[in-house]
Amino acid sequence: MQLAELIEQAVTGLGYELVDFETSPRARLLRIFIDGPQGVNIDDCSKVSNHLSRLFTVENVDYDRLEVSSPGLDRPLKKAADFERFAGQQAQMRMRLPINGQRNFTGLLSGVKDGIVNLQGTEAAYQLPLEQIEKARLVPKF
């Protein structure tokens, strides 16, 4: 089982969503971002961290440091379900390839249909292919 699958299975088994995870070179640092139906707090992060530490020992995963945290207010959007869940909120997206000479888009998410993310910008509405999105994040409101 690959590390990504191992982490996702453990996190979802505890009732949380794996938002993202990052590794440093040679996987010395494992940084894991989780979310829950009501968000996450320090106790949730601690619970997941303790569980993963024990699991990594059993599975012989070699690492120096493990960090578990919430995705933050500018949460990354990775899966189609994320774009659907956060419809009605502001998001920033960067495309892998330019669309009409533009790679960066900001606007109000309108959901996903047939692999196309609908985004209402201030000037126009955009239909962006999900598989071409390099990076997407929510824009926090203060």
pLDDT in tens, 91-100: 999 999 999 8
What distances in angstroms separate CA 119 from CA 108, 123, 134, 140, one per listed residue? Answer: 5, 11, 15, 16
The domain 80-138: what is its CATH number?
A: 2.30.30.180
What distances in angstroms separate CA 40 from CA 32, 46, 48, 62, 69, one per listed residue? Answer: 13, 10, 11, 26, 8
Given this model, what pLDDT does residue 109 score? Answer: 95
- How far, rounded to the nearest angstrom, does the alpha carbon of residue 34 sit from its chain's CA centroid? 8
Question: Residue 18 above 80 pLDDT?
Answer: yes
The domains of the chain are located at 3-69, 80-138
Given this model, what pLDDT does residue 25 score? Answer: 80
Residue pair 32/21 in contact (Cβ under 8 Å)? The answer is yes
pLDDT in tens, 37-82: 888 999 999 999 999 999 999 999 888 999 999 999 899 998 898 9
Q: Could you tell me the CATH superfamily of domain 3-69?
A: RimP-like superfamily, N-terminal (3.30.300.70)
Residue pair 92/137 in contact (Cβ under 8 Å)? The answer is yes
Bridge partners, residue 135, by sequence? 94
pLDDT in tens, 103-117: 999 999 998 999 999
Question: Residue 27 above 70 pLDDT?
Answer: no
Question: Residue 141 above 90 pLDDT?
Answer: no
Question: Residue 24 above 90 pLDDT?
Answer: no
Given this model, what pLDDT does residue 142 score? Answer: 79
Question: Residue 1 above 80 pLDDT?
Answer: no
- Span 12-23, mean pLDDT? 93
